[in-house]
Amino acid sequence: MSDSTSAARELGRTGERLNALGFGCMGLVGWYGTRDDAEARATLLEAADAGIVHFDTAASYQLGDNERFVGEVLKPLRQRLFIATKCGLARNTAGAPVADNRPDTIRSSCEASLARLGTEVIDLFYLHRIDPAVPIEESVGALRELVVAGKIRHVGLSECSVATLRRAHKVQPVAAVQTEYSIWSREPEQGMLAACAELGVSFVAYSPMGRGFLAGNFRRLDELPANDNRRNQPRFQDGAVAANEALVEALRAIGGSLGATAAQVAIAWVLARSPVVMTIPGMKTRAHLRDNLGALRLRLDSATLATIDTSVAALPVAGERHPPAMMNIIDREP
């Protein structure tokens, strides 16, 4: 029986240990429907009080508003927290997402993030997406300069390929790779988890609950607010969402047999996949925070993990994990 969900895990080979469960901040002040700053603030503070130290944001989230909000709320607690943010993802004049990993952009983005977060150093600074127009060695070289300058402590890559990770790691030790990973998004098992284990790199899994769908938070597209970005996600479109409901029902059944929720099973499953894995589920309410924390008390034995693999993870998934424009800038193997 595994206790991997509750144990602290080392961040790469940095010697720094973080709780297996961190906090994904993207949805706190927008993106997923109605914004409630008072509840978001209370959720952040309760998370820190509960022992969560790893908080993950990005410059692109709500055009910097997310960093400003997170920085302001957590500033009194800053010295005992681990703050991660990202650079290098923007939108062009047509509104399409683009990666920009030019060294000058990285340096200016770091300064802007430091200012918005109200901190003197960023604990973990990621390239949010990989820019094929800039050699990764140049981009990571700029990140290395920021480490030497004391602006950032550790370097990360988000949604990179194994080949890119290997090239980057030769320039500067990469502390973490961040990629979507869940029961219905298992691409990291096609080489990335093994590469991270080999190189001594942590794997930070975002959206372990499939943006709330695997937690059973909604069943139909019309249950989401009109301004909820998930309305643009392929897996939540009419037809796809109905087909994908089978995964949630299977998770609920397993959770019921364990006295757990579907969300807790989804998180515990991700953390049980490899000791290099940490996860940063998104949460914007204290109710969801408390539910997610329950995953740390859930033990999935080998029989349960095998059942999940055969009865849940083997089910077909309808729809891509991102809209086409975002899928187009995912770094892939050459």
Q: How many domains does the chain have?
A: 1
Query: For 71-90, what is the mean pLDDT?
Result: 97
Would residue 4 count as lying in a domain?
no
Q: Tally the C-alpha atoms within 13 A of residue 279's C-alpha that lie toward its C-beta.
A: 30
Would residue 2 count as lying in a domain?
no
Would residue 18 count as lying in a domain?
yes
Would residue 332 count as lying in a domain?
no
Query: For 67-71, what is the mean pLDDT?
Result: 98
pLDDT, tens digit, 9 for 90 and up, residues 269-288? 999 999 999 999 999 999 99
55 three-state secondary structure = strand
Give the pLDDT of residue 5.
43
pTM: 0.94
Query: Is 61 noted as a catalytic residue in this protein?
Result: yes
Distance, in Å, from the CA atom of 262 to the CA atom of 260, rounded to the nearest integer, reads 7
Give just the sign of the alpha carbon dihedral 13, 19, 24, 28: negative
Q: Which amino acid is at 58?
A: A
Would residue 68 count as lying in a domain?
yes
Would residue 122 count as lying in a domain?
yes
Give the pLDDT of residue 127.
98
Strand partners for 288: none
Q: Which residue has the tokens 């729809």?
A: 319
Residue 4: band (very low, low, confident or very high) from pLDDT cuts 50, 70, 90:
very low
Is residue 70's pLDDT more than 90?
yes
Catalytic pick among 61, 126, 181, 206 = 61
Q: For position 314, which CATH number holds?
A: 3.20.20.100
Query: For 304-322, what is the mean pLDDT?
Result: 89
Segments forming the whole domain that contains residue 105? 9-327
Give the pLDDT of residue 1.
31
Using alpha carbons, list the distances in angstroms from residue 323 to 96, 160, 231.
11, 18, 10
Q: Which two tokens stand for residue 51?
A: 């022992």
Would residue 65 count as lying in a domain?
yes
Would residue 1 count as lying in a domain?
no
pLDDT, tens digit, 9 for 90 and up, residues 33-46? 788 999 999 999 99
Consecutive H or E run containing 162: helix 162-171
